[in-house]
């Protein structure tokens, strides 16, 4: 067990170093002079130009720059945004709860819909429901979510007026940010209607972001269920004359869910890619939108730090899923 654990953790170190190299290279490969960009139409005199290059550490040899960068990263210093001059880590931490909140809600919606649909499709294999739901989920899987999000806004916000167009909560509410999670904060605030407003703001973005995971979960659950239903112990259970419902829930589902849960865990990367688009469309103040903005504003320290942070989060989640999976399923543990 320990060996398995150590191998998995050991594998992550070179990947992490690789990502730091990528992030480091990024700011140096970008075309154009970052100092010149800061100055804008007004321009900058050569003296000040040199001084600012020194401030940004661009005047030292590359290897030294990388050394400085790595030692800073290990101390939690990911640089400062060119635009806001705030430490990148601080910005990330203030925005990250919004992304987590959105992602968690998306995954919950995806599971609430995807699992039952997948199970039902497997149980009623070959039925109209099976075909229809699998057709819908393949469509969902193929959905360009930036367009899907626009359609949702067009239908529910613009035409029906049911949900707000963007943001996390109505600006008219005036409560403190305690946890950064709007649902919790609005609830704690006790302000009348604030929680409802937060929920209404969250619905469309969660659906948009949850669509692809929902489709994946439904398809995965179905095929996993089908596989399990063919196993001997299910046949045995059937032969014993156990009630169908009991077989499905107690025996089949339990085993079918293991691979599904792994898929959910590994979907973090996919979810994040989706969050970039969803947050941009719904003006959701999260990490994805922040990174897109940083490209637009050419705020390269933010992009550099953000890439490293996001990659780290994704790697950590994947590692956790791997380890948990190893715990649940001893076959994997001993495979290597």
Of 303-322, binders to another protein (CB under 8 A) are 303, 307, 310-311, 314-315, 318
Q: Which residues pair with 80 in a beta bridge?
A: 87
Which 3 state secondary structure label does DSSP give 87?
A: strand
CA angle 21, 26, 27 (to 5 degrees): 115
Judged by CB, which is closer to another protein: 29, or 335?
29
Judged by CB, which is closer to another protein: 174, or 245?
174
- Non-local CB neighbours of 193 within 8 Å, separated by 6+ positions: 173
- Candidates 8, 34, 58, 258: give the one binding another protein (CB under 8 A): 34
Binding mask 243-282 for another protein (x = CB under 8 A): --------------------------xx-xx--xx--xx-
Which 3 state secondary structure label does DSSP give 80?
A: strand
Select the span of 1-9, 234-242, 244-252, 289-297 touching another protein (CB under 8 A).
289-297
Kindly state the smallest distance separating residue 301's Cβ from another protein, in Å: 11
CA 217 to centroid of chain Cα atoms: 16
Judged by CB, which is closer to another protein: 23, or 248?
23
Q: How many residues in the shown chain lie near another protein by CB under 8 A?
A: 110
Kindly state the smallest distance separating residue 64's Cβ from another protein, in Å: 22
**55 lies in the binding site for another protein (CB under 8 A):** yes
**132 lies in the binding site for another protein (CB under 8 A):** no
Element (H, E) at 45: none
If you search the block for the tokens 């990367």, which residue do you land on?
Answer: 269
**232 lies in the binding site for another protein (CB under 8 A):** no
Residues 30, 58: Cα–Cα separation, whole Å: 13
Kindly state the smallest distance separating residue 320's Cβ from another protein, in Å: 14
**26 lies in the binding site for another protein (CB under 8 A):** yes
**153 lies in the binding site for another protein (CB under 8 A):** yes
Kindly state the smallest distance separating residue 106's Cβ from another protein, in Å: 14
Query: 58, exposed or middle or buried, with CB in 10 Å at 0-12, 13-18, 19+?
Result: middle
Q: Alpha helices of the chain — where are they, by DSSP H? A: 2-29, 34-39, 46-55, 62-74, 88-123, 128-141, 145-152, 182-189, 194-229, 232-239, 244-246, 254-266, 268-282, 287-296, 300-328, 330-333
Report 58-97 residues binding another protein (CB under 8 A): 80, 83-86, 90-91, 93-95
Provide the 10 A C-beta neighbour count for residue 107: 22
Judged by CB, which is closer to another protein: 263, or 291?
291
Kindly state the smallest distance separating residue 180's Cβ from another protein, in Å: 6
Judged by CB, which is closer to another protein: 62, or 138?
138
Report 171-230 residues binding another protein (CB under 8 A): 171-174, 176-178, 180, 186-187, 189-197, 199-200, 203, 226
Select the span of 1-9, 38-46, 61-69, 250-258 touching another protein (CB under 8 A).
38-46
Q: Which residues pair with 87 in a beta bridge?
A: 80
Kindly state the smallest distance separating residue 1's Cβ from another protein, in Å: 23
Q: What phi-psi label fits residue 181: left (phi over 0), alpha (psi between -120 and 50 degrees) or beta?
A: beta
User: Per the structure block, which two tokens stand in for 155?
Assistant: 């239908």
């Amino acid at each position: 067990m320990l060996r398995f654990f150590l191998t998995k953790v050991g594998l992550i170190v070179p990947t992490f170093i690789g990502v730091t190299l990528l992030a480091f290279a990024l700011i140096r490969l970008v075309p154009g002079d970052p100092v010149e960009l800061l100055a804008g139409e007004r321009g900058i005199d050569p003296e000040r130009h040199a001084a600012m290059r020194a401030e940004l550490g661009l005047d030292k040899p590359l290897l030294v720059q990388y050394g400085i960068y790595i030692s800073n990263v290990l101390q939690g210093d990911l640089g400062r945004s060119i635009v806001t001059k705030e430490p990148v880590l601080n910005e990330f931490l203030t925005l990250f709860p919004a992304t987590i909140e959105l992602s968690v809600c998306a995954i919950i919606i995806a599971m609430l819909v995807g699992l039952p649909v997948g199970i039902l499709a497997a149980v009623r294999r070959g039925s109209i429901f099976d075909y229809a739901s699998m057709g819908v989920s393949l469509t969902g899987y193929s959905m360009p979510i930036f367009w899907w999000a626009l359609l949702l806004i067009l239908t529910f916000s613009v035409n029906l007026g049911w949900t707000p167009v963007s943001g996390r909560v109505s600006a008219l509410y005036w409560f403190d940010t305690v946890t950064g999670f709007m649902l919790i904060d609005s609830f704690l605030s006790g302000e009348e209607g604030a929680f409802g407003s937060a929920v209404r703001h969250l619905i469309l973005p969660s659906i948009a972001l949850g669509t692809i995971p929902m489709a994946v979960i439904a398809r995965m659950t179905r095929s996993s269920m089908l596989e399990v239903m063919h196993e001997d112990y299910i046949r045995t259970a059937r032969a014993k004359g156990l009630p169908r419902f009991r077989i499905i829930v107690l025996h089949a589902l339990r085993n079918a869910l293991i691979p599904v849960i792994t898929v959910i865990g590994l979907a973090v990367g996919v979810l994040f890619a989706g969050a970039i688009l969803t947050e941009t469309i719904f003006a959701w103040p999260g990490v994805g939108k922040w990174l897109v903005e940083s490209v637009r504003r050419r705020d390269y320290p933010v992009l550099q730090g953000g890439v490293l942070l996001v990659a780290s989060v994704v790697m950590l989640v994947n590692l956790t899923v791997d380890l948990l999976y190893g715990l649940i399923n001893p076959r994997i543990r001993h495979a290597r």
